[in-house]
Structure 1
Amino acid sequence: MNPTPSARARVALFLILAATLGGCQAVKYRTLEAFGVEKRDILSGRVESARDAQDDAKQQFASALEQFRATVSFDGGELEDLYDRLSGAYERSVDDAERVRERIDEVRDVAEDLFNEWSDELDEYESADLRRRSRELLRETQGRYERMIAAMERAEATMDPVLQSFEDQVLFLKHNLNARAISALRSELEGIESDTQALIEAMNEAIAEADAFIQTLE
């Protein structure tokens, strides 16, 4: 289910205001809430951003794998150009991986604040029945969140071995830029393919969990 226009407008407003506001989280929240942007909207926006960052990273890692395949299939041409393309693919992967980590941290921050506030406000209910229903909804939402963040963290962890493998290959070529070095890298292809495929599968799972969680917030 796609966000409604009003929901998209609130998220867009949050992104604009968050970019201009400095200081502590509490100040940001109070300012955003004055504009009708609740923590629930903020969490939805941050989950969406984390999902998009993971999708971008997934595609970049797949692209880097293709560049490595092209490298080990080298059969003539400029070795320096080959190294530059592989090094560039690695650096873009590092940047995308860092963006994923930042977005996941941002999700954790607002989720913790939202759930703490929700829990504290349960005592403000006069109606015992409404308090019970709200507590049940809080537990359900926290459960769905925990499943989603666990999937994101698993996907985040799968980036490290792939990045390390790509870094090793780039360094090896940097220090040994010749046809023999290219040949030596061919034995590494199967392992990198396996690790990258595991990463893509973990990213797909995390993206699906994020989509499902966003729908529950809407």
Structure 2
Amino acid sequence: MANTSVIKLFAASWVKTLLAGAAILSATACTNVYYNAMERLGYEKRDILVTRVERSRDAQSDAQETFRNALERYQSVIDTPDTDLRARYEEVLAAYDDSEDAAANVRRRINDVEDVAGDLFDEWEDELDRYTNQDLRASSERQLGQTREQYQRLISQMRQTEERMEPVLRAFEDQMLYLRHNLNAQAIGALEGELARIRSDVNTLIDNMEASIRESEAFIQRLRNNS
């Protein structure tokens, strides 16, 4: 009986491993099909990376406006005591939902950048061994090192932006949850004390996004100059 249990556990573990491997192979195959299709249309991984960095930059720019707008909406809820409490809660909820959506889009765009960048650098490094002209190989290797170094600054800045979104989102969520269960004037007063901290976090986040957008522009320019 014990042996049967061991066999079943081993079989279940083997099936999970097999399924995980199949999922990885499937994802890799899909990615390769995508790259091959784009190459037939004249778009190399470098071009795809430029497009994805641009989309990430635009997502962060949109998120800046969303977070600014959310902060203004929170401020207006506190500054308009005569407004219906239910209406004020709905305003806070909408601000929180919009911020969550913007943050999710930023995260998705950053992940997209990281995926194609890894594939581009792997391909670039592998192709160094195909050179017969050592001067050209050395030049390409230098460009690879410089581009990878600049990319590391970019992705580090992007991930820092991603991290800085979290405390803002959590603060917005706290405000929304508190109002949901405390729809009274005293609750509005309690939220007012948190507004200064939230404003500081939002301003820090926006500054960080500005830095990330500048890094994105510089990286896009490098890729275009080297194309």
With structure 2 as the length reference, what TM-score do the two structures score? 0.85
* Cα distance between partner residues in 2 of 1:62 and 1:111: 31
Greater radius of gyration (CA): 2
Matched, 1:153 2:159: yes
Matched, 1:179 2:185: yes
* Cα distance between partner residues in 2 of 1:94 and 1:73: 24
Matched, 1:59 2:97: no
Matched, 1:213 2:219: yes
- Matched residue count: 197
How far residue 202 of structure 1 moved from its aligned partner, in angstroms, is 0.4
Matched, 1:200 2:209: no
Aligned to 1:143: 149
How far residue 86 of structure 1 moved from its aligned partner, in angstroms, is 1.2
1:106-155 deviation digits (Å, cap 9, x = unpaired): 00000000000000000000100000000000000001111111111111
Structure 1 vs Structure 2: percent identity of aligned residues?
48
Matched, 1:114 2:120: yes
CA contact (8 A) 1:74 1:182 kept: no
* Cα distance between partner residues in 1 of 2:83 and 2:191: 17
The letter for the 2-side match of 1:176 is: N
CA contact (8 A) 1:69 1:189 kept: yes
The letter for the 2-side match of 1:67 is: R
* Cα distance between partner residues in 2 of 1:177 and 1:199: 29
Secondary structure of the structure 2 residue equivalent to 1:167 = helix
* Cα distance between partner residues in 2 of 1:210 and 1:30: 26
CA contact (8 A) 1:44 1:214 kept: yes
CA RMSD of aligned residues (A): 1.1
Q: Which runs of 4+ in 1 moved over 2 A?
A: none
The letter for the 1-side match of 2:182 is: N
How far residue 200 of structure 1 moved from its aligned partner, in angstroms, is 0.4
1:61-99 deviation digits (Å, cap 9, x = unpaired): 111011111112232021111111111011010011001
